[in-house]
Chains A and B, each alone.
Chain A
Amino acid sequence: MKRPKIAFFDFACCEGCQLQVANIGEALLDILDIADVVEFREVMSEKWDQSFDIAVVEGSITDHHAIERIKMIRSRSKLLIAYGSCATIGGINGMKNNFELDEIRKEVYGKDYKYFDTIKTMPVHHVVKVDYFVNGCPIYPPEFITVLKAALSGIPYDVPDKSVCIECKFNENICMYEKGLTCMGPITRAGCNSWCINNGNICYGCRGMVSNPNEKSAKDILEKYKIDLNLILNRINMYNKCRELEDNEQKRY
């Protein structure tokens, strides 16, 4: 790729991942040394109406307009990176799928709800092909840079299929379970260098679950710690509700 063009886009999200990218600091200057950022709403006002090499997409797909728009972006880009939990696994937005769509619309838009389109929340790869995934809410900037390097050199990147505990132990943290707290680390994908736990927080499972989580045992453990089963399910569903779409509807692109 000769000075590849990179464009950033957002769908249903808080734009926090864009903020993470904007805050990368020095490494961002190095990226700008080797690539042109042609569109990035949070940091620049220019728009780009031609094709680009890498589309970096934040946010989940939540209405028909979004489906059309993401298809358009895909058709203009050689590669597509989905970044952030909303884009990669549906994330927090997936909680909408706990309810009937009309119920949700009424709650949000009031009596005129019929004018507001909505669909079940989907991660980007349910609608178009995604070449690279950067999981996390927000993304872990070093992983974003790793993925960007892989994309720029045309090498695949595999989101680690092992638990956050792996990296948490590398960092020699005291286990949250020792502190009497519940933590999604054991069933959540690594790659964040156990960012939250290093800073005293528990893991909320924002990176999605490992490919074959031992959910039964995880629930048993939490029950042993006398934690209400609903709380556990809520914990799991907070970021991972869209998983059900894959189980039931096989809608994976």
Chain B
Amino acid sequence: MQIYKILKKSNLDSLVSILSKKQKFMAPVSKGLNKFAFESVTSSKDIALKYIPTILAPKKYFMPQYETLIEYDTKEGQNMKAVVEYENMVLFAVHTCDLAGIQCLNIVFSDRPKDLNYLVRKNKITIIGLECNEVCDEYSTCAFMDNDLPNGGYDLFFTDLGEYFIVHVNTQMGDAIINDTKLFEDATVSHINELEKLREKKRKLFINQFGIDRQKIPELFDKSKESQIWDDIGNRCLSCGNCTNVCPTCYCFDVMDVQNLDLKTGKRIRVWDSCQNETFAKVSGGESFREARSDRKRHRFYRKFKYPVNRYSRFFCTGCGRCTRTCMAKISLLETLELLIKENKVK
């Protein structure tokens, strides 16, 4: 049975205030210039309820940019303890594209051998989703990737219906918020009808720009390994690594040691890394296995549309559009896909 509740907009601030007292409360805030970021808030007035995808995806809370794996002490041999650092938090107003991104990361890090740092931290985070009532901008392809509507991955899911939010209660963790805060009311049939109406309206707004079925994509990539398109975007690429950093599903990392000043103790950390970096696939002998920018660009696209489909039966592009928005060289995911489709005459 689906459980729906109602939260009056006037009660949102109380919700934020109650929850932010118990743990960190992260929500999208405006940084100006139509840019947003998830940050810690204590009041609803700081929250940007209407926002386009944040600069960094919420993956930064699940696998932080810098993350301690081990604390070591070499005063007497190679002594260590493995640790996870975490914060209990509520992640509020996560769009459906980012929920899909978190689901991708969940799959990767729960694959064997399991990554406990990720898995422990993930369960300290309560996720409250927020529906997009409109398309954010021309860069998103969420409808094509089937991420314009909620597909799970949240504890509560909010849909803004004007004076109130209709809230889907998906987990016990979500239900606990309903019970503890006592701010929610039961939804009636008319509320649910309103939600249906919005979803109906969304079907006309959120359209597949490509005119082909998403399931044709892996096959398209099968045929496109040698396409000229990779050279074209490779020539334009600065290898700045913006696209991988902002991507909600890029999870490559580097592992390194950070010494304390006593030179005996320190920690082993992992840091976000990027397959677009010059040295990413270099071995210590000096050989670099993806030296050409075009090879690195191809690799990134295949890691979104082909390889994870082989491995996990899932696309690792959520359609959020961040990579296109952030690219100084204006390399567009949408255009690249369009060109590949055109080149291969896929229908």
- Secondary structure at the A interface, as helix, strand, loop or mixed, is helix
B35-51 with Cβ < 8 A to chain A: 35, 37
Q: In the complex, what residues of B have CB within 8 A of residue A212's CB?
A: 239, 278
Q: Are B262 and A165 in contact (CB under 8 A)?
A: no
- Is B242's CB under 8 angstroms from A165's CB? yes
The answer, among A146, A162, A218, for a CB contact under 8 Å with B278, is A162
The reply on B238 being an interface residue by CB < 8 A is yes
Stretch of A79-87, A130-138, A178-186 with 4 or more beta carbons under 8 angstroms from chain B:
A178-186
B261 touches A165 (CB 8 A): no
Query: Is the CB of B236 closer than 8 A to any CB of chain A?
Result: yes
CB-defined contacts of B55 to chain A, threshold 8 Å: 169, 172-174
Is A220 interfacial (CB-CB < 8 Å)?
yes
Within 8 A of B (CB), among A175-207: 175, 177-179, 185-187
Which of B31, B241, B258, B277 has most chain A Cβ within 10 Å? Answer: B241
B-chain residues with CB within 8 Å of residue A211 when the two chains form the complex: 278
A4 to chain B, nearest CB (A): 11
In the complex, chain B residues whose CB is within 8 Å of the CB of A216: 235
Contact of B246 among A30, A153, A169 (CB under 8 A): A169
Contact B238 A187 (CB under 8 A): yes
In contact, B261 and A163 (Cβ under 8 angstroms): no
Report whether B328 and A186 are in contact in the complex, using a CB–CB cutoff of 8 Å.
yes
Q: Considering the chains assembled together, what is the distance between the CA atoms of A169 and B250 in angstroms? A: 14
Within 8 A of B (CB), among A19-78: 27, 30-31, 33-34
- Select from chain B the residue with minimum beta-carbon distance to A213: B238
- Contact at B259–A169, with CB atoms within 8 Å? no
Interface residues on A, range: 35 or more
Instruction: Report yes or no: B261 in contact with A178, Cβ–Cβ below 8 A.
Output: no
Tell whether B123 is near chain A: CB-to-CB under 8 Å. Answer: no
Check B278 against A30 for contact (C-beta < 8 Å).
no
Contact between A31 and B261 (Cβ–Cβ < 8 Å)?
Answer: yes
Q: With an 8 A cutoff between CB atoms, is A170 at the interface? A: yes
**B151 within 8 Å of A (CB atoms):** no
Q: Distance (Å) between the CB of A183 and the closest chain B CB?
A: 9
Q: Please state if A186 and B263 are interface contacts (CB–CB under 8 Å).
A: no
B224-260 Cβ-contact flags toward A at 8 Å (1 or 0):
0000000000011111111001100000000000110
Measured in the bound complex, the distance between the Cα atoms of B128 and A62 in whole Å is: 61
Convert B16-35 into 0s and 1s, putting 1 for each residue whose CB lies closer than 8 angstroms to a CB of A: 00000000000000011101
* Distance of A59 from chain B, by nearest CB (Å): 26
Q: Does B181 contact A (CB under 8 A)?
A: no
Decide yes or no whether A161 CB sits under 8 A from chain B: yes
Report if A210 contacts B (CB, 8 A). yes
Is the Cβ of A186 less than 8 Å from the Cβ of B261? no
A242 and B219 CA atoms in complex are apart in Å by: 49
User: In the complex the two chains form, is B326's CB within 8 Å of A175's CB?
Assistant: yes
- The docked-state distance in angstroms from the alpha carbon of A144 to that of B277 is 23
A245 at the binding interface (Cβ < 8 Å): no
B278 touching A161 by the CB < 8 A rule? yes
Contact partner of B328 (CB less than 8 A), chosen from A166, A173, A213, A221, is A221
Q: Are A174 and B31 in contact (CB under 8 A)?
A: yes
Contact residue among A33, A161, A220 (Cβ-Cβ distance under 8 Å from B236) = A220
Interface residues of B toward A: which range?
A: 35 or more
Chain B residues with CB under 8 A of A150: 259
Q: How far is the CA of A174 from the CA of B56 in the complex (A)?
A: 11
CA distance in complex: A28, B164 (Å): 56
With A153-B259, A217-B235 in contact, is A162–B241 under 8 Å at CB?
yes
Q: Does chain A have a CB within 8 A of B318?
A: no
**CB of B272 within 8 Å of the partner chain:** yes
Contacts of A150-170 to chain B: CB distance below 8 A: 150, 152-153, 161-163, 165-166, 169-170
Question: How far is the CB of B298 from the nearest CB of chain A, in Å?
Answer: 16
A149 touches B263 (CB 8 A): yes
- Across the interface, B261 reaches (CB within 8 A) one of A34, A177, A187, A217, namely A34
Tell me the smallest distance from the CB of B328 to a CB of chain A, in Å: 5
A186 and B246 form a contact (CB under 8 A): no
Which of A34, A174, A175, A186 touches B32 (beta carbons < 8 Å)?
A174
In the complex, B209 has a CB within 8 A of chain A:
no
Partner of B245, one of A170, A187, A217: A170
Shortest A169–chain B CB gap in Å is 4
The residues in B between 268 and 284 inclusive whose CB is less than 8 angstroms from any CB of A are 272, 274, 277-279
Q: Which residues of B contact A186 (CB under 8 A)?
A: 238, 240, 328
Residue contact A218 to B238, C-beta cutoff 8 Å: yes
Contact between A169 and B245, CB atoms less than 8 A apart: yes
Closest 4 CB pairs of A and B: A165-B240, A169-B245, A186-B240, A30-B261
Binding site for A on B (CB under 8 A): 31-33, 35, 37, 54-56, 60, 65-66, 235-242, 245-246, 258-259, 261-263, 272, 274, 277-279, 293, 326, 328-330
A-B residue pairs in contact (CB < 8 Å), sample of 20? A34-B263, A152-B263, A162-B239, A162-B241, A162-B279, A163-B238, A163-B240, A163-B241, A165-B242, A169-B246, A170-B272, A174-B32, A186-B238, A186-B328, A187-B238, A211-B278, A212-B278, A213-B238, A214-B235, A214-B236
